[in-house]
């Protein structure tokens, strides 16, 4: 039976991963080695899944190849079959290697922050928030290349299949967790920084039918809890936290915790760690006055 590589063994040294020139290359190689080990164990553990896991992971020679093919099979339809979509992901990965590096950071973020992720294999195969985000990265590359009709097609298919609707113009950093994903909507001129966590039902939207720069700017390390709505061209500052079900209509200072309808400041981050990484959805106890 195959053996699952533990997180401790995942932290390999450059000497163990010889032949890779950059930190990004080493991170990808280490993640791929761990993903393959988990896939081998899963294939040995349940014969019904053996063929599926072989096609999804073990038949590939690297992370980018496996990711692109798996994404393509998830999204392929009569109009553009999986084989053609795989060609598109390959073009995007070759055109901008940062797309693959971001996917490595995103998958690592899931394992770090989501207690439901018992390893790399489960989110790689099944987490639709991860799949939707990786397709967005491809669509964003196409948008920048001027292939906007195809980018819109991918946005539409992702919305249909994964229930996540992100405009292809949106700039999203790396190490981003979209947890569950269902009902997430991000408008055209929004910006999402690095190491952000976004839960189900979050909207980064406008406030009306105005044109131009009209959507929120979410800075590094922000946690947007389930059902949060952030509306308008406002900034959610670095390491801020937005409570579940809140409606944010004004800028959020860095390090603030906001909650309510409309949202107001109810506390401040004191741990020094990004709320997106802590994934603590609780809010300070309300202060009662008599």
Residue 225 has what pLDDT? 98
At 18, the pLDDT band (50, 70, 90 cuts) reads very low
Residues 38-97 pLDDT 10s = 999 999 999 999 999 999 999 999 999 999 999 999 999 999 999 999 999 999 999 999
Residue 287 has what pLDDT? 56
Positive or negative CA dihedral for 10, 16, 20, 23? positive
- Tell me how far apart the alpha carbons of residues 147 and 151 are, in angstroms, rounded to a whole number: 6
Cα atoms found within 13 Å of the Cα of residue 284, Cβ hemisphere only: 15
- Tell me how far apart the alpha carbons of residues 196 and 2 are, in angstroms, rounded to a whole number: 34
Global confidence as pTM: 0.90
- Tell me how far apart the alpha carbons of residues 47 and 174 are, in angstroms, rounded to a whole number: 35
Q: Which two tokens stand for residue 102?
A: 């971001």
Q: How far does the chain reach from its first CA to its final CA, in angstroms?
A: 65
**Between β-strands 256-259 and 247-248, what pairing exists: parallel, antiparallel or unpaired?**
unpaired
Q: What is the mean pLDDT of residues 234-239?
A: 98
At 286, the pLDDT band (50, 70, 90 cuts) reads low
Check residue 200 and give left, alpha or beta (phi > 0: left; psi -120 to 50: alpha): beta
């Amino acid at each position: 039976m195959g053996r699952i590589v533990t997180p401790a063994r995942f932290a390999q040294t450059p000497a163990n991963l010889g032949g890779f020139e950059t930190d990004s290359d080493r991170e990808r190689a280490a993640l791929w080695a761990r993903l393959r080990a988990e896939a081998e164990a899963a294939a040995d553990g349940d014969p019904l899944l053996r063929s599926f896991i072989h096609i999804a992971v073990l038949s590939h020679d690297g992370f980018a190849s496996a990711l692109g093919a798996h994404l393509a099979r998830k999204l392929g339809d009569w109009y553009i079959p999986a084989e053609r979509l795989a060609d598109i992901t390959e073009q995007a990965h070759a055109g901008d290697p940062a797309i693959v590096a971001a996917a490595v950071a995103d998958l690592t973020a899931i394992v770090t922050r989501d207690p439901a992720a018992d390893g790399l294999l489960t989110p790689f195969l099944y987490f639709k928030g991860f799949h939707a985000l990786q397709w967005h990265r491809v669509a964003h590359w196409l948008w920048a290349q001027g292939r906007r009709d195809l980018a819109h097609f991918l946005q539409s298919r992702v919305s249909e299949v994964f229930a996540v609707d992100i405009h292809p113009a949106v700039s999203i950093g790396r190490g981003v967790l979209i947890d569950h994903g269902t009902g997430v909507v991000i408008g055209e001129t929004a910006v999402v920084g690095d190491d952000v966590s976004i839960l189900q039902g979050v909207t980064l939207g406008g406030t009306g039918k105005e044109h131009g720069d009209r959507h929120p700017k979410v800075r590094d390390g922000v946690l947007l809890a389930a059902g949060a709505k952030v509306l308008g061209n406002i900034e959610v500052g670095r390491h801020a936290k937005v409570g579940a079900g809140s409606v944010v209509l004004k800028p959020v200072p860095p390090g603030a915790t906001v909650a309510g309808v409309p949202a107001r400041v109810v506390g401040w981050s004191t741990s020094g760690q990004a709320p997106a990484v802590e994934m603590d959805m609780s809010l300070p106890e309300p202060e009662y006055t008599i």
